[in-house]
Amino acid sequence: MMSEGKKEKGVTIEEQIGKYHQSIFGFNTMLILGAGCKIGIFDYLYEKGKSSTQDKITSITFTPEEIILNLKLSPFYLDGWLHMAVACGIFELEDSCERCLISAPHIYDLFINRDSMFYKGNTAALMNIMALNQEFLINNFKTGNTKDYRDFPPEDCKNGQVVSTIGGAKFEQLFSNRKADFQMKFMNNGLFLEVGCGYGFNLEAWVKKYEKVKFVGIDIDPNGIAEAKKLIQKKGWEDRVELIEVSVSDYAKTNSNKFDLIMLKQVLHEMDSNENYRRQALEDIYTMLKDDGILIIGENMIPDLFKSRNEVNFFQILHKMLDLPFGSRFYDDDTFKELIYSTSFKKAEKIEGDDIYFWAITK
């Protein structure tokens, strides 16, 4: 109930409207960035930056006309997009030339230069996919229907995995810092299996570092495996990496190898949501792991809504929201441990770094 005047819990209605306006602003910024990625405007500006003779590029200047010409875009639509992009602070008017625009400070590194460590373009494109799927999402609130992620356009799935594998190298660093003894043995002639390797972006970081290790990547997504194969071929790593389009259960039936390290990174929540299926998949993994091997599972732990008052992690919740159309089912620490201890595995240890964590699971 409203207390006296316009104040409720110390917040005025104007302040609350301010937050709402900020959200509209943020929402439009994401739409503009996502559309810019999908239309190819940021790619065009990236290529333009790369062809420059300058040593270090920090911003990029352009005219609307060159974008229209090079990308064959409608001047009418581009004009609207640019108005909004300026209003959202992505570009500024550049006075040094006629009818020119310039990327606002740091925008080049954040959204144009995909080689930058600060690059966030893929996340922006993912937000755009989320916006595009609102109608599907809304219709399903009543039916609870879901869709197989493999029915979404492969380029969207690929982009989703670019985002989900951001931090793949950090994951490996956390493993090598906290499991140093194991890592020393593993790096000499280990055998590594990635279940749900998707487009191969995680494997890239591991294969590069562990030159004496043999790798197997499996996934049920044919597009992911086809792209992963291309990536491994491009790097010349075919003799160390085997990629197979197969489910973990079918692979376990034919595989005779025992692995030192098996990794599932952001896979469990997306597997068939039937708990028995997941338990059996973990049992299959158990049989493929050496007795002194480690299973590492990277999953966003999402607590029950009413237990989570002090520990809401926005990006983990965003992951849950983004995965609603696929019917993904997540765990919190307790339910995850319950699942693991209902299998033959004996120990599940949560290894936490500064901003990431994984579970080290052993026999």
Ligand X SMILES: C[S@@+](CC[C@H](N)C(=O)[O-])C[C@H]1O[C@@H](n2cnc3c(N)ncnc32)[C@H](O)[C@@H]1O
- Contacts with ligand X by CB under 6 A lie at 161, 164-165, 195-198, 202, 218-221, 224, 247-248, 265-267, 270-271
Closest to 202 in 3D by CA, of 231, 181, 239, 238: 231
Nearer to ligand X, 128 or 247 (CB): 247
Please give the structure tokens belonging to residue 297.
């599972």
Please give the structure tokens belonging to residue 150.
């493999």
Closest to 351 in 3D by CA, of 341, 342, 362: 362
Nearer to ligand X, 172 or 270 (CB): 270
Q: Min. distance of Cβ 324 from ligand X in angstroms?
A: 14
Q: Min. distance of Cβ 33 from ligand X in angstroms?
A: 22
Assess contact for 112 and 46: CB atoms under 8 A: yes
Q: Min. distance of Cβ 128 from ligand X in angstroms?
A: 18
Assess contact for 320 and 288: CB atoms under 8 A: no
Nearer to ligand X, 109 or 194 (CB): 194
Nearer to ligand X, 59 or 122 (CB): 122
| DSSP classification of residue 269 | G
Q: Min. distance of Cβ 252 from ligand X in angstroms?
A: 10
Closest to 125 in 3D by CA, of 223, 40, 21: 40
Nearer to ligand X, 213 or 282 (CB): 282
**In this structure, how many other beta carbons lie within 10 angstroms of the beta carbon of residue 7?**
12
- Give burial (CB, 10 Å; 0-12/13-18/19+) of 60: buried
Please give the structure tokens belonging to residue 264.
């599932």
Residue 218 bridge partners (DSSP): 195, 244
Q: Min. distance of Cβ 147 from ligand X in angstroms?
A: 14
Q: Is residue 332 helix, strand or coil?
A: coil
Q: Min. distance of Cβ 281 from ligand X in angstroms?
A: 6
Assess contact for 316 and 252: CB atoms under 8 A: no
Closest to 288 in 3D by CA, of 344, 326, 350: 344
Q: Min. distance of Cβ 270 from ligand X in angstroms?
A: 5
